[in-house]
Structure 1
C-alpha cells in the first residue's frame, strides 16, 4: 500500500497491511516537483522518514536508478535508510524525464547485478515496461526480458502492459514472484487467481487525500464553510480517538516519560 507521509504509513501499518510502497509519484508530490527533478538526497530523505517510523517493510521506487555504479551506491544508501526493498525500472529516460523507450537487456542486467552486489538483506525488484510502450516490444519479448532479469538476481518483477490473464504464464516463465498494480475496483481474489504475489496499490490513498483537500478548499471558497467536506463533524472526527493515539504512539511516549521522570 502506498503511503505518502509518516502518519499515513502508520495508518496503513495499524490497519494490518504488510508493507508500504514509496512510489516516485509520491516523492514528486511531496516536493511539488516532477519526480525526475527531485534529487537522490530528497528521495532518500523521504524514504528514510517513512521507513524509520514504521515496523513493516517499505519498497522504494528508484525509477531508472542511473547507471550500475550509481545504483550500487544508491542501494547501499537505501539499505542504511532501513528501506526493505528497491524497485528499478527499465525505462530509457531522455531530457525532462521523458520516457524514450526501454534500455537494452544487457544494460538492465548490469543494473540488477550492481544492486544485488551492493545489498545485504534488501530485496531487489524490477518493473519491466517494455510491453506497455507502443511499438517497442511484444509481450513475449517482455517476458524474455523478465527471464533475464530473474537470472541476474531480481527477486520480483512488475510487468506493465500485461493483463491479469497474462500473468500466470509470465509467472511460469520467470519463476520468481510477480508484482502487479491493483486499482480501486481490483479484488485480491483476482490478483491471487493470476498468481500475483506482491499486490501494489500505487497511488490511491494519495489521490483520495488530494481530492478531499481540493474539494474542501473549493467548498470553503464557494460557500464559506466546509460542512459538506467535513461530513458535518469536527476535524478528525471520523478517525476514532483510540486509533489516532495508536498512530501517534501516545501510550509508548507517555510510558517512556514516566520511566525517565519526565512530565510527572
Structure 2
C-alpha cells in the first residue's frame, strides 16, 4: 500500500488504467503500467448489468479478480460503498483492505442522487478513519459534474472539504477543460488530484495534465467501452451489410498470448 501511495506525485502523474477482468488487467500490467483500478461500470457490463447495479460484494469480487491477476497495486471502485450511511462507507473501505487491495474510493452519489454536503462529509470522514486504520489509500470523489447536479464551484467546495478531512487523493470525474482541472487543483491544495479522461479531449494529454500538477490519470469505463464498441460496430455491420470489418486495432493471437504471460 505504501508503494501505491508513493506513486502519486503531483506533476508526474501515475497512469492508472481501468481493466474490467483478469485478462485485461494482465495485458495492462505487461504493457508496463505500474498500478491499476477496477471499474464498477466495466465489471457491471461484463455481468450483463447496468452501471450502478452491482452489489458491494460484486464490486469487491471484481477488484479482487483484477488484483489476483497482477503483481502491481490495484485500487477498487466501490461507488458509494453499498449504502448511504457513513458506517457503510467505512465498512466498504475496511473490506477492500481485507481483500488485499491497495486503494479504494468512496463517492457522494447514492441511489437517490448526490448526497447533501453534510452527509457527504460525514461519509468521507468515516471512510478516511477506516483507511487510516488499515493503511489503504483512500480516494474521495464527487460525482456532481458527471450527474450534472452540482456546479463546478460546488464540486470544488466538496474537494476542499475532502482534502482538509485528510483524503489521500481527491477526484472529480467530468472535468472537460484546463480551467476545470485548474479549479479542482486549486481546491485540493497539496492533496494529490486524480483526473478522469473518459473521452477524446485534445487538452487532456499526459504532458498537459502533468504541467497542471495532476498526480494521477485514469480512464474509468473507457477501455471496456472501447472493447464493446468494437463488437457493436463490427457485428452491426455484419448484420446490416453482410460484411465483416475487423478494426485495424484487432490484436493477433501471438500478441495476446505474449501480453497474457
Question: Which bin holds the TM-score, normalised by the shorter protein?
Answer: 0.7 to 0.9
1:136-161 CA distance string (max 9 Å, x none): 54433322221111122211112245
**Structure 1 range deviating more: 164-173 or 25-34:** 164-173
CA RMSD of aligned residues (A): 2.6
Matches within 5 A, 1:128-207: 128-131=142-145, 133-134=147-148, 136-162=149-175, 163-175=177-189, 176-182=191-197, 183-185=199-201, 186-207=204-225
Structure 2 residue 48 is matched with structure 1 residue 36: no
Q: 2:211 and 2:164 mapped to 1: Cα distance?
A: 25
> Rg: which structure is higher?
1
Do structure 1's residue 25 and structure 2's residue 41 form an aligned pair? Answer: yes
State the Cα distance separating 1:169 from its structure 2 match.
4.3
Q: Distance in 1 between matches of 2:192 and 2:100?
A: 22
Is residue 126 from structure 1 mapped to residue 143 from structure 2 by the alignment?
no
Residue equivalent to 2:124: 112
TM-score, reference length from structure 1: 0.78
Superposed displacement of residue 16, structure 1:
1.0
Q: Which structure is higher in RCO with an 8 Å CA cutoff and minimum separation 6? A: 2
Q: Which runs of 5+ in 2 are unaligned?
A: 1-16
Name stretches of at least 5 consecutive residues in structure 1 with no aligned partner. 250-264
Q: How far apart are the structure 2 equivalents of 1:137 and 1:216?
A: 38
Question: d(CA) in 1 for partners of 2:180 and 2:167?
Answer: 20
Q: How does 1:41-80 map to 2 (within 5 A)?
A: 41-65=57-81, 66=83, 67-80=85-98
Shift of the 9–141 alpha-carbon distance from structure 1 to 2, 3 Å rule, reads same
Judged with a 3 Å threshold, the aligned counterparts in structure 2 of structure 1 residues 237 and 109 are, in CA distance, closer, same or farther, namely: closer
